[in-house]
Amino acid sequence: MGKLLIKIITIVTIILFILPQKVLAEEPKFSTRLDITYEVSEEGETTVKSEGKITNLTSNFLVSKYFLTVSNLDIYDVYAKDGQGDLKTETVRDGENAKIELVFNEKVVGKNKSLEFYLEYKTLITAKKNGLVWDITIPRMDTSNETLNYATTLIIPESVGPMMFSSPKPVSSNISEGKIVYFFGENTLDSGLSAAFGKYQLMNFDLNYNLNNTSPFPKKQEVAIPSDIRSRQEILIKSIFPKPVNVTIDLDGNYITEFLLKPFEKKEVKVTGQAKIYNREVNTALSGKISKIPKNFSYLTKENLYWEVTDPEIQKIATDITRAEKTVAEKALAIYTYVANELKYGSERLAKNDFERYGAKNALSNKSAAMCMEYSDLFITLSRAAGIPAREIDGFALTQSKSLMPTNENEKLDILHSWAEFYDPNLGWVQIDPTWASTSGLDFFTKLDTNHLAFVRRGASPDEPLIPGSHIEGDTHQKVFVSFSDTEVEKEQTYLILKDSRFLNRKNLKIINPNSSTYFSLKINNKLVGDLPPFSSLSINKNGFQEFQVKYEDFEGRVKTEKATAIIQEKGDYLVPGIIFLIVFGASFLFLTLLIAKARAKSLRKQFDRPSLHLPDQDR
């Protein structure tokens, strides 16, 4: 895939005489110096200003033309000048690239003589506000010319907010007249610049799931809804329709909603809500050792479908690329780099709607036809082979450039993406995107942008739980709707509901979370209950208490407390269970009565069917 690229070509005109080919091959003819400034306005327009200096390194050449090739940018208002005035410019589009040609007025001849020029153009692609976050992307510099030296400056309005992350990091910054000026030093954008500004991102989601019970008996079916991921994404569930029987948490931290379907029933489940996505930049210097990984994560290093951990080729690659690394993050980075460099995104498959999942082993045999699942599967498999717990993440990634940051847009209209995460004993779970690293050349290891919304995490199984957008065969309606938002939905927080059941089990306390957000690390009378997702419930032993101290954490880890008294269930609360109990009891009694009656009838039949006893006649 095309990568962000600024490429410079300088045309030289030979004068005096032609040097021998050997000299031409070994000695550079000129050197180029660029000081580039990207200034972003509050409306998102970026003015790019380049002050250039080309110096002759021999006495035999002069510079007549200058070419600037910019990838993946739409540019306009091009202006250039040199020491003798305005320059003639011509801009030609070549696919996704724009090629600017400058014809110099000055003719500078002589060794160490220099030609200075100025080039300016504008674009709306470099900076874009998405929801509450400003995303800044600057093309990478083409360093194939060894004599090119450059420095980059970024100027943004102070109103865009604090810097969430920047890769690479600026050398220095200052504030002047309502603008923040960031300096990136010498030759630091060989891989381009990716930066984001703001506090967090907001995404609204509207998800639809198709359930289908093909059985002649009632059946429970489950679907995963977006779940909270501490320090990364905070979920607020506005509604789930129809109402689920319950919401539980699986081994990988997914929120699983349970529905009861009648025989042969089809049901569409609709979930709406808002996600708050936080930036997290990882400091790999704080990484821990593999020996410190908890034993309960061992299932995340096992082989599974698509993750051929024990394959000899997989084992060899994992060993070779991580042998010299000491910490978990260092090993994971080596694997991430290998996957991003080794695989090539298969845009041809995307055009053909070919979404067959190859798995890690087959991805190595089809390196130029990889899609996001292949990048993720290979990273997960190599990580597990190296002893690092890793799992798959499937979700929605909002992209502004499908060529640089592609997603799986299929014929059913839903746009989904896959990435991965690994576990570090000191850093916790770290999300990475090797696909976008490969296609854009940007860093998606130490930071993941705020445009990734996780729907499900798959560690125990590579294909469960099902993701939103699961379709009944033949249904081509869009099922996944996600959009940026600049308005935060307010939480309507109410108290937990504690119900003291006095109908069947006087010892149990039913805890109900009627809220749209999760209670983390919930404790009842200092006894840890665990996390309680939105609209979920569970039962615990009340141990004779009638008043309860409720303690929990919010998403940001702040401890909160509540006092609550168990509510004795009203008649309406157990009317239905009572009726069910009476029906079951009555049916059981009737069944038992019938069994007894049948047994007595059988006994009587045996008695009447017994042969008569005839005694011999006496004294006739």
Lowest average pLDDT, out of 358-367, 424-433, 573-582, goes to 573-582
pLDDT, tens digit, 9 for 90 and up, residues 59-108: 887 778 888 877 767 889 999 999 999 999 998 887 767 888 999 998 77
Out of 531, 551, 568, a domain closes at 568
Does a structural domain hold residue 593? no
Residues 513 and 438 in one domain: no
- Predicted pLDDT of residue 617: 40
User: Average of pLDDT values for 572-591?
Assistant: 58
Q: Residues with Cβ < 8 Å from 318, sequence gap 6 or more?
A: 335, 382, 383, 385, 386
pLDDT band at 475 (very low <50, low <70, confident <90, very high): low
Mean model confidence pLDDT for the chain = 84
pLDDT band at 620 (very low <50, low <70, confident <90, very high): very low
CB 302 within 8 A of CB 309: yes
Helix/strand/coil (H/E/C) assignment for every residue in 136-183: EEECEECCCCCCEEEEEEEEEEHHHCCEEEEECCCCEEEEECCEEEEE
Residues 173 and 302 in one domain: no
Does a structural domain hold residue 223? no
Does a structural domain hold residue 232? no
Q: Highest-confidence range of 256-260, 396-400, 488-492, by mean pLDDT?
A: 256-260
Does a structural domain hold residue 326? yes
Does a structural domain hold residue 504? yes
- Predicted pLDDT of residue 404: 61
User: Average of pLDDT values for 317-325?
Assistant: 97
Residues 37 and 98 in one domain: yes
Lowest average pLDDT, out of 184-193, 331-340, 447-456, 602-611, goes to 602-611
Per DSSP, the three-state class of 300 is: helix
Q: Which helix (H) or strand (E) holds 61?
A: strand 61-71
CATH number for 391: 3.10.620.30
- Predicted pLDDT of residue 1: 41
CATH number for 553: 2.60.40
- Predicted pLDDT of residue 558: 94
CB 308 within 8 A of CB 314: yes
Residues 192 and 77 in one domain: yes
Percent of all residues in the chain with a pLDDT value above 70, rounded to a whole number = 82
Q: Is pLDDT above 90 for 564?
A: no
**Domain count across the chain:** 3
Chain centroid offset of residue 383 CA: 18
CA nearest neighbour of 144 among 93, 190, 196: 190
- Predicted pLDDT of residue 516: 94
Instruction: Decide which of 410 and 442 is more confident.
Output: 442
Which tokens hold the place of 562? 């509540």
Q: Is pLDDT above 80 for 505?
A: no
- Predicted pLDDT of residue 506: 58
Does a structural domain hold residue 251? no
pLDDT band at 570 (very low <50, low <70, confident <90, very high): very low
Amino acid (1-letter code) at residue 576:
V
pLDDT, tens digit, 9 for 90 and up, residues 135-147: 898 877 665 555 6
Distance CA 445, CA 358 (A): 23
DSSP assignment of 415-457, as one string? EEEEEEEEEETTTEEEEE-HHHHHHH----SSB--TTEEEEEE
Residues 68 and 181 in one domain: yes
CA nearest neighbour of 509 among 527, 531, 535: 527
pLDDT, tens digit, 9 for 90 and up, residues 145-161: 556 888 999 999 999 99
- Predicted pLDDT of residue 476: 59
Residues 173 and 49 in one domain: yes
- Predicted pLDDT of residue 11: 46
Q: Is pLDDT above 50 for 557?
A: yes
- Predicted pLDDT of residue 593: 74
pLDDT, tens digit, 9 for 90 and up, residues 6-47: 554 444 433 322 233 333 345 778 888 999 999 999 999 999
Helix/strand/coil (H/E/C) assignment for every residue in 308-350: CCCCHHHHHHHHHHHCCCCCHHHHHHHHHHHHHHHCCECHHHH
- Predicted pLDDT of residue 120: 95
Q: Is pLDDT above 90 for 337?
A: yes
Residues 63 and 131 in one domain: yes
pTM (2 d.p.): 0.79
Residues 421 and 299 in one domain: yes
Does a structural domain hold residue 242? no
Distance CA 139, CA 5 (A): 5
Residues 537 and 439 in one domain: no
Instruction: Decide which of 71 and 260 is more confident.
Output: 260
User: Average of pLDDT values for 556-570?
Assistant: 78
Does a structural domain hold residue 261? no
Residues 33 and 177 in one domain: yes
Q: Could you list the residue range(s) of the whole structural domain that residue 365 is in? A: 284-449
Residues 512 and 374 in one domain: no
CATH number for 82: 2.60.40.1730
Residues 166 and 76 in one domain: yes
- Predicted pLDDT of residue 60: 80
Per DSSP, the three-state class of 544 is: coil
Lowest average pLDDT, out of 231-245, 400-414, 487-501, 550-564, goes to 400-414
- Predicted pLDDT of residue 188: 82
Out of 197, 225, 244, a domain closes at 197
Q: Is pLDDT above 60 for 469?
A: yes
Out of 171, 197, 223, a domain closes at 197
